[in-house]
Structure 1
Amino acid sequence: MKTLTLEVVLRTVREYFLMAVGMMLYSFAWIGCILPAKGVGGGAAGLSLVLCHAVEEWFGVSIQIGTMVFLINAVLLLVAGFIVGWNFGVKTVFCVFVISLGMNFWQTVLPEGDFLHLERILAVILGGILAGIGVAMCFMQGGSTGGTDIAAMIINKYRTVSYGKIVIYSDFVIIGSSMLVGFHIDTVIYGYVMTAVFGYTVDMIMSGNQQSSQVLIVTHDYEKMADAIVTNVHRGVTLIDSQGWYSKTESKIVMVVCRKRETAMILKFVKSIDPDAFMTVGSVMGVYGKGFQTLTKI
């Protein structure tokens, strides 16, 4: 059981504060930039925008986007709970709440229309950049925005599909479906532009979010290190026999292969357990196995 110390409390408060700031920035990007520019996007937020527009067009009922985001994520969480279990992180639930409240907040306080007075393409690009920064801040603290992440959990229960493919396919369908509820082709084009800018921004900040990292940790306290990574990051750990040539001391190297967005979290645990540990972090391509991609036939 983790000992509750002042350092742990402050670190936790900092993580949740940064996630809240990131999600508020993400919400502002949608309500302050993308929505006034009559743009759409992917994920739960994009689907919410399409559904809100459809409900208003067909039934004359106006629903705030944040409320629709919460309903979509709530349904996904319930479905995923019954299918893959109720092992959701608290950070995922927290981020879902902040996104929903943030969107409703910005939609209430911001003036209607294009208050930024930007060209449509510039507003869409700015929205993609701000949304990407917000999501990257969330990922760096080990959080999740729900939506596509939850859908990926459900899909991977029955069939292993990479996270990147799920994001691309779902965003393509959501943005394209906006034409069914009254949006024009230019809105779809702007939606794809926003999604591309959003994805590029997240990748730039996370140094390639869709790639994986191989972390090698040289430490004498390898057992505690391995237990901490398995328990908190939920990634498999491999111990490799090693010997320091200068000291002639035998030890073990802790090897972890993880997503790029999980690297910062692992480094935090390493620093908290053994500040003197020697680490190398390398980018790897084509990671196959449980938790990653399946090995396809050549």
Structure 2
Amino acid sequence: MVTRKLAAVAAALLTGTLSLTACSTGSSGGGSSDPGDSQLNKVLKAGELRVAVLPDFPPWAVQKADGSFEGYEIDIAHELADSLGVKLKLVSTDGDSRLPMLQSNRVDVNVSAWTSTNERAQTAGFTIPYDAHGAGVLFKKGADITSYQDLAGKSVSVARGSTNDTILTNDFPSAKPVRFDAISDVISAVKTGKVDAALESSYTVAQAAKSDPELEAISNPPLDPQLVSMGVLPGDQVWINYLNNFIRNLIASGEDNKLHEKWLGEPLASIVSVQGNAA
């Protein structure tokens, strides 16, 4: 596990012994670059870390019938809480609720497969990436789909407001989007025949195809690979600095790669793993 010595780094940040690598001004609903006002200080004082996670995005994160969570990002959230020496509270979110949950102070950080696009970075604060993934296509066996181009004219389910929604809209204008709030509904729509295909994370569709003999996923390389980062309020550079430090150590220790292989079945992308090697 990532060592609890990171908690000492947090204390150093709060006393100003570590300099900020960058300063950003606050915005409406934003955080603070003042160590005393930072979410990091609030987490340490409260003794609890509130992490927004997706409840229906296996193998990244899923909420089981007993209410508990499991998955790649759930393990990362546990590592993060352990590094701070605080208790962990997992809070369910969806694509549209990530930023509002931060702004209303219901969570301290998002570890929710949030791709750090330039558009999103205009309103949210993002860390360095801890993973990268692209989109895949899921469909029923026997469907007239062998390549991404075959989505033309077909009904395709996506999570509302997600990067996959953007990919479908921009790259496949003749496809017919069917939008759902929950990722589980996106996948279910294919199983029940409501849509011809689903566009979701390549890892998610691969797992769905593996677990259901009636489903199949396009085997081509993922569409539009993007970086995945933790998301916080903009302007809270102290909190972002700590999270960046945590992620670098998670990668450098090999723990991130270990968790990635455990849940997603393959090593971290080199574009992510190089961060830890350079740390």
Normalising by structure 1, what TM-score?
A: 0.27
Normalising by structure 2, what TM-score?
A: 0.28
Which is greater in Rg?
1
